């Protein structure tokens, strides 16, 4: 950016000036893929999405099959502290009931991926709609909605999850999709507030901008102004917000699992959600001495996914920053 830098950069700058103008998205993308950490993050996320979708094909065994008399088998590469002999077909050993750890970890990717993406989508839709209406219309409605966000901010969120899960988990909604729907709803209710405030702030500043004035002058409808002019310009903070929220949600699922409020157990491996990394880590934490891989494997997966999303988020933020336009 600074003028005194060496000549190759200068040439790059000049080249950029003469290139045909590209959209913000294209340019951001090209900046993103130049960021090594972000690219690595994308690959890791892609890998786990692949695992989640094709779990039945990839997993070597049925994740629910109990292998009698084969409790706590260590993985073949690490005998560990016990006298139990490893068996080569269990690549990461078995759990306390003789189920294959590797297969369970692969199936667990499904819940974590869905927990990461689905509530985030709900939160983004809910938060940005409310934030936009609040900021654009303003007045009494704005005041009311912002006071509502005050109230929700005042709630301890983990406590709120627990209380909602306890109160509703034995109702119809709590049983639907192994309890995941309820979990999503609880996560969404608490988290939309942040998005709403973010978007409202954006709308308030964008409302005064010349291009909005211009659109209004030529008689554009309010909804058109909101969705065609204001929303696209608020997109980049939203994307960044999402990349940082997803890892938080994955961790929250794991913590709820630790409190015994995670996924309901499946009895049929034909079900889509069989187990989750949170549930696996809970099992693994108690058995850390006998079979450390029961904890290590899901913990490493969670750490990888969280790191991947975080670096992706960093890259996206830098790439989408309009002030970074034309720079590396």
Partner 1 sequence: MVTYLIRRLFWLIPVLITVSAVTFIVMRSAPGGPWDTDPERRQVDAATEKSLSAYYGLDKPMWRQFYAYIIGDTNSQTKEYVCGLICGNLGPSYRQRGRTVQDILFSPPEDKTFWQSRFGYSLRLGGMALLMAIMVGIPIGIIAALKQNTIVDYVALFFATSGISVPSFVLAIFLIFIFASRLHLVDIVVDDWTQIKYWFMPMAVLGFGTLAYTARLTRSAMLEVMRQDYVRTARAKGLAERAVVFIHMLKNALIPVITILGPALAGLVTGSFIIETMFSFPGMGRAYVQSIFQRDYSMIMGTTLIYALLVAVANLSVDIIYVFLDPRIRLED
Partner 2 sequence: MRKLNVLLSLFVLASLVLTACGGGAPAEPQTVVQTVIVEGTPQVVTAVPPTEEKEAVLRVNTGTYPDVIDPQKSSFVNEIAHLNKVYMGLTTLNGKLETVPGAAESWTFNDDATQLTFTLKPDSVYSDGSVLNAKRFEYAFQRNIDPATAGEYASITDEIVGAPEWRGADTAAEGYDAEAFKAALGVKASHADGSACADYEDTACNTLTLNFSKPAPYFATIAGIWVGYPAKEENIAEGGDIWWTSSKYQIGNGPFIWKSVDPFVKSVFVPNPNYAGEAIPTYRLEFSYITDSAVAFEAYRNNEFDVIGSAAEDLPVIDADADLAAQHVKYAGSCTIKIQYSFFPTWGGKPNPFSDKKVREAFALAFDAEAWTHDVDGDLSLPTWTWIPPGYPGYDTNTPLHFDPEAAKAALAAASEPFNSAEKLNALGLKMAFADSARNRQRHEWIAAQYKEILGVDLALDPVEPTTYTAIQKDPDTYPLLSRGGWCADYADPQNWLSVYWRTGTFADRWGYSNPEFDALVDEADTTIDPAKRAELYSQAQQVLLNDIPGAFGYNSLNHYLVKPWVKGYQTTPQDGTYPGDVTPWTITIDTSMLP
Q: Which residues bind partner 2 (CB under 8 A)?
A: 64, 66, 68-69, 71-72, 81-84, 96-98, 165-166, 169-170, 260-261, 264-265, 267, 279, 282-283, 285-291
Q: Do residues 234 and 200 make contact, with C-beta atoms less than 8 angstroms apart?
A: no
Q: Which residue has the tokens 């942040």?
A: 194
Dihedral sign of CA atoms 260, 264, 268, 274 in order: negative
CA–CA separation, 88 vs 90, rounded Å? Answer: 5
Residue 4, binding choice from partner 1, partner 2, none, Cβ under 5 to 8 Å by partner class: none
CB 57, min distance to partner 1, A: 28
In this complex, which beta carbon is closest to partner 1, that of residue 200 or of residue 317?
A: 317
Contacting positions for partner 1 (CB under 8 A): 1, 37, 147, 150-151, 153-156, 159, 162-164, 166-168, 170, 247-248, 251, 254-255, 258-259, 278, 281, 285, 288, 295, 299, 302-304, 306-307, 310-311, 314, 317, 323
In this complex, which beta carbon is closest to partner 2, that of residue 40 or of residue 259?
A: 259
Question: For residue 36, what is the enclosing H or E element?
Answer: helix 36-53
Residue 96, binding choice from partner 1, partner 2, none, Cβ under 5 to 8 Å by partner class: partner 2
Residue 156, binding choice from partner 2, partner 1, none, Cβ under 5 to 8 Å by partner class: partner 1
CB 216, min distance to partner 1, A: 28
Residue 279, binding choice from partner 2, partner 1, none, Cβ under 5 to 8 Å by partner class: partner 2
In this complex, which beta carbon is closest to partner 2, that of residue 176 or of residue 211?
A: 176
In this complex, which beta carbon is closest to partner 2, that of residue 164 or of residue 246?
A: 164
Residue 247, binding choice from partner 1, partner 2, none, Cβ under 5 to 8 Å by partner class: partner 1
In this complex, which beta carbon is closest to partner 2, that of residue 111 or of residue 123?
A: 111
CA–CA separation, 293 vs 281, rounded Å? Answer: 10
CB 79, min distance to partner 2, A: 10
Residue 290, binding choice from partner 2, partner 1, none, Cβ under 5 to 8 Å by partner class: partner 2
CA–CA separation, 237 vs 258, rounded Å? Answer: 32
Q: Which residue has the tokens 């950029």?
A: 16
Please give the full DSSP string across 176-227, using - where no structure is assigned: GGGGHHHHHHHHHHHHHHHHHHHHHHHHHHHHTSHHHHHHHHTT--HHHIII
How deeply is 104 buried, as exposed, middle or buried, from its count of CB atoms within 10 A (0-12, 13-18, 19+)? buried
N- to C-terminal Cα separation, the chain: 9
Residue 94: phi and psi, rounded to 5, are -125, 170
In this complex, which beta carbon is closest to partner 1, that of residue 220 or of residue 255?
A: 255
Please give the full DSSP string across 85-126, using - where no structure is assigned: PP-TT-TT-B-TTS-BHHHHHHHHHHHHHHHHHHHHHHHHHH
Residue 57, binding choice from partner 1, partner 2, none, Cβ under 5 to 8 Å by partner class: none
């Amino acid at each position: 950016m600074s003028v005194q830098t060496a000549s190759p950069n200068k040439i790059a700058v000049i080249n950029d000036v003469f290139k045909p103008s590209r959209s913000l998205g294209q340019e951001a993308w090209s900046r993103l893929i130049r960021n090594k950490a972000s690219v690595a993050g994308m690959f890791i996320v892609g890998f786990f999405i692949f695992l989640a979708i094709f779990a039945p094909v990839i997993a070597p065994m049925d994740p629910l099959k109990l292998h009698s008399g084969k409790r706590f088998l260590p993985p073949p590469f690490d005998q560990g502290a016990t006298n139990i002999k490893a068996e080569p077909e269990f690549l990461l050993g078995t759990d306390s009931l003789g189920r294959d750890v590797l297969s369970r970890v692969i199936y667990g990717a499904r819940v974590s991926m869905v927990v990461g993406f689905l509530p985030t989508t709900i939160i983004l839709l809910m938060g940005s709609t409310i934030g936009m209406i609040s900021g654009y219309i303003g007045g009494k409605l704005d005041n009311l909605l912002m006071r509502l966000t005050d109230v929700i901010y005042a709630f301890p969120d983990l406590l709120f999850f627990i209380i909602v899960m306890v109160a509703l988990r034995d109702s119809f909604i709590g049983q639907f999709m192994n309890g995941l729907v309820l979990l999503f709803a609880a996560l969404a209710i608490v988290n939309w507030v942040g998005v709403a405030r973010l978007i409202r702030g954006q709308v308030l500043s964008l409302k005064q901008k010349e291009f909005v004035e211009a659109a209004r002058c030529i008689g554009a409808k309010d909804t058109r102004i909101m969705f065609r002019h204001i929303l696209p310009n608020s997109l980049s903070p939203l994307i960044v917000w999402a990349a940082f929220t997803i890892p938080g949600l994955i961790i929250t699922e794991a913590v709820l699992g630790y409190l015994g409020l995670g996924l309901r157990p499946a009895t049929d491996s034909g079900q889509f959600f069989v187990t989750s990394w949170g549930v696996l880590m809970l099992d693994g934490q108690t058995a850390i001495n006998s079979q450390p891989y029961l904890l290590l494997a899901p913990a490493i997966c969670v750490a990888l996914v969280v790191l991947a999303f975080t670096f992706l988020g960093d890259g996206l933020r830098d790439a989408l920053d309009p002030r970074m336009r034309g720079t590396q």
